[in-house]
Structure 1
Amino acid sequence: MGHGGNVIAELTVDHREVDELFIKIEALPLGDPLRRDLADELTVELVRHSVAEEQYLYPAVREHVDGGDALADKELEDHAGAERLLKHLEGRDARDDQFDTLVAKLKSEVTEHIRDEEVRLFPLLAAACTPQELEELGDKVRKAKKTAPTRPHPSAPSTPPGNKIVGAGIGLVDRARDLLTGRNQ
């Protein structure tokens, strides 16, 4: 499954990639250092995905979907909870007592969030937008993921315009840190 297409297809591919990362982490023995590497990869994917949704998907939901403000607010709450868990997981050794507990809690929250988006939010957005609008949103989401942060920043703004202004700068700093530390290269 490749990236591209409308916003729903793009984000659904992201969801499957996240599912696969959780499966890979769980397949390894407890304490295996590769679990830490996979958790870093998972963090990068979740943060980039969340930032892109916050910059483009949720504003579109607010604009086009009846009751969109409440839907977007609920999704943003989900993101905030996951980002706090990612922050607690960040840098934690795979042998740490809390590592597996945090991964399990993160998986539970992310899986529920994905299900909610795919079952409820995506169909509502698809019914409210034209195919061209969905394609344009897909392009915007892909571009946003390229400059998005790669590490959790729970105190960063999650709504426009603040998230668009701050996000690219934080993303640049995160990628520099990743390069210097060899994280996820």
Structure 2
Amino acid sequence: MGHGGNVIDELRADHREVEEFFEKMQALPAHDEKRRDIADQLTIELVRHSVAEEMYLYPAVRKHLPGGDALADQEIKDHSTVEQLLKELERAKVGDTRFDTLVQQLIQEVSAHIADEEQHLFPALARGVQTATLDELGDKIRTAKKFAPTRPHPGAPSTPPANKLLAPGTGLVDRARDFVTGRGRS
């Protein structure tokens, strides 16, 4: 991930990438071990995306949009649900019915979250936030994704300032683990 453009363009491109992972996963037979590789890549991208949104997008939503606190709180709640599903998926074995159930739950949760952001949040941002600010947020989101964790950490803080302080260190540890294990290289 790291597509360019303002924050809305960047996050929409991330959404399309996530949907492609879902399609790839669903196209494979239930016992195909490639599904684990896709699940790992999907997890890496979703976690990085979520952390970047929590670091920069949702604080901007709180600051610039009427009712922004409630909007941001709901988005963070959605992230928490998805992160818990990702943690469970990380432990599930391909071919186990639990793996398939978790994939379906994840697709439902993430698809609903994407639809909500694209139908409500992004248009509100486009109307309520200056172009220069949207561009700056796009840059911040791209930078944050480079250093964000790659594994779900449901207990980690999801709001500033704690998330901005802890995410880069957690991300470094996650990337080191990924390097050693080969996770996410496919």
> TM (normalized to structure 2)?
0.98
Report percent identity of matched pairs: 64
User: How many residues end up aligned between the 2 structures?
Assistant: 185
Gaps of 5+ in 2: none
Contact 1:33 1:93 survives alignment (8 Å)? no
Aligned to 1:41: 41
The amino acid that maps onto 2:106 is: L
Aligned to 1:99: 99
Aligned to 2:176: 176
The amino acid that maps onto 2:160 is: P
Aligned to 2:86: 86
Q: Secondary structure at the match of 2:114?
A: helix
Contact 1:48 1:150 survives alignment (8 Å)? yes
91-100 vs 158-167, greater mean Cα deviation: 91-100
Displacement after TM superposition at 1:92 (Å): 2.1
Aligned to 1:134: 134
Matched, 1:56 2:38: no
Runs of 4+ that moved beyond 3 A: none
Aligned to 1:73: 73
The amino acid that maps onto 2:18 is: V
Mapped partners of 1:47, 1:69: distance in 2: 22
The amino acid that maps onto 1:130 is: Q
Aligned to 2:23: 23
Mapped partners of 1:92, 1:181: distance in 2: 17
Aligned to 2:112: 112
Mapped partners of 1:45, 1:64: distance in 2: 27
Cα deviation, 1:104-160, whole Å, max 9, x if unaligned, reads 000000000000000000111111111100000000000000000000000000000
Mapped partners of 2:33, 2:99: distance in 1: 11
Aligned to 2:165: 165
87-96 vs 57-66, greater mean Cα deviation: 87-96
Contact 1:61 1:72 survives alignment (8 Å)? yes
> TM (normalized to structure 1)?
0.98
Cα deviation, 1:69-91, whole Å, max 9, x if unaligned, reads 00000000000000000000014
Gaps of 5+ in 1: none
Mapped partners of 1:7, 1:38: distance in 2: 25
Cα deviation, 1:32-72, whole Å, max 9, x if unaligned, reads 00001000000001000000000000000000000000000
